[in-house]
Structure 1
Amino acid sequence: MPLRAVTFDVGGTLAGGKLNRNLYGQHMLELLESHGQRVSRRELKKAVGLALDTLNRLREKNLEMDFNEFRRITLLRLGITPTPDLMSAMASLYYQCFEQVPLPKCKEVLDELSRNYSLGVISNTMSLASKIFLERFGLAGYFKVQVYSGEIGYRKPHPKIFEIALQRLGVAAAEAVHVGNDPKEDVLGPKKVGMKAILVGDTDPNADVSVGSLAEVPEAVLRLASAPET
C-alpha cells in the first residue's frame, strides 16, 4: 500500500527543551502563598513525589493520567482544596516554565512532507505542553490530527494511541509511518499495529529506517514510499 500519512512524536523529535523544574517549583511556592497557603519547598517536593508515584504506576501499564488529576492529587497531598482558580493558575504557571524550541529544520521538514502526506502528532504527555509548543511556533497547522496520551488515557507504545491516530487520519496502518526518537515508544509501538517506523538520533534493528537528525526524515520517508511492496 502507498504511504499516505506521517505521524510525529514531539519532545526530542520536533522540539528540544523541557520543564524548568527549579523555576516552576519556586513560582509554585509563590503562587500558593498568594492564595493564602504557605508551603515549604520540602513539603511541595514530597506532595509532587507522591503524585508522581500514582502517575508512574499508571505509566507502567502504558496508561496516562490527565494533567488536571495530577494537579488535584498534588494539592490534596498538601491539604489544600483544589479550587478552579488555583488549578487554572497552576496550569498557566506550568506552561510558562516549559521551555521548548523547534529542533533544526523542523519547519522545513514539515513543510516538505505536508505537500504529499497527511501529518499527525502522537505524543506521550499528560499536559498540553506539546500542543502549546506547536501553536506558539506556528507549526500546528501542518497537522491534520494531534493525539496526546493525557487526552485519551493511553501512552505509547500502547497500540490504542496509534489506532486512534490512524482512525482520525483515515488511513490504514500499512499506509502510515511514525517518526520518533525513542526505540520502545516510537519503534516497537507503531510496528505492533502495522505501521512503519523511522527512528531519529539513534539506531535500532527494529526500525525501518534510522536517521541521525530530523533533517534526514523526508529522504527516509521517500525511501520507504519508493520501496517495492513485499
Structure 2
Amino acid sequence: MGYLSHLTKFQGWLLGFGLVGLALAQVDQPFPHVAPLHHVPTLLVILAAPALLRRWPLSNAALLSLFAFLALHTLGGRYTYTNTPYDAWVAALFGSDLSTIMGWDRNHYDRLVHFSFGLLMVLPVAEILRRYVGVTKVLALYVGVEFVMGISAIYEIFEWLLSILLAPDNVEAYNGQQGDIWDAQKDMALAFAGALIAAFAIWMIERSKQEE
C-alpha cells in the first residue's frame, strides 16, 4: 500500500470512484470496438494519479475539477458521445425529451463535454502554475485559458488523423461529428467559452477574498 499511503481520504475516495465508474462503463458495453480509444487513456491517468499527486499535490477543488471532467468523459465514452441517451433520461423524469423541448436535431453531449473541458481545466492548470512555477495569478489564468485552447486544437487534429486511419463507420462512431462540417470549430469555441468563464469566476472569487 506504499504507493497509496500518501493519499488523503478524499483523494482515495475520488480515485476509487473513478475506477468504479470506469468499470461500470464496460458492463454490457454497447460499442466495444471503439471503447478502448475512450477509456484506456482515462485508466492510465487514474493509475498514474497517486504518483503524480505525491510529486505535485493539488487542492481538493482542483482535483475534483479534473475528476468531474473524467466522469463526463467516461459516460460519453460508454455511448461514443453521439449515442449518449440523455433524451431518454430526461423523458423518464419529465415526460418529454430534451431535444424536443429545445428543438435540437443532433445529440449535444459532446458539446457539453467540450464546454466542460474549458470550464474545469483552468483551475488545476492555474494552480499548478502558481504552486510549482511561481507565476502570477493573472498569468496563471491566462496560460490556463491558452492550455485549454491548445489541447482542444491538438485533440481535433488527432481526430482528423484518426479519421484517415480508421474505416468510415468507426470514424463516425469515435469522433461524433454527426455530419457537421464545422464540428471541430464549434467544439473549440465551446471549450474557449468555458475557459473564459472559469478564469473570470476564479479571478472574481479570489478578488472578493482579498477584499474581506
Q: Which has the higher strand share?
A: 1
Compute the TM-score of the two structures, normalised by the length of structure 1: 0.20
Compute the TM-score of the two structures, normalised by the length of structure 2: 0.21
Q: Which has the higher contact order (CA 8 A, sep 6+)?
A: 1
Q: Which has the higher helix share?
A: 2
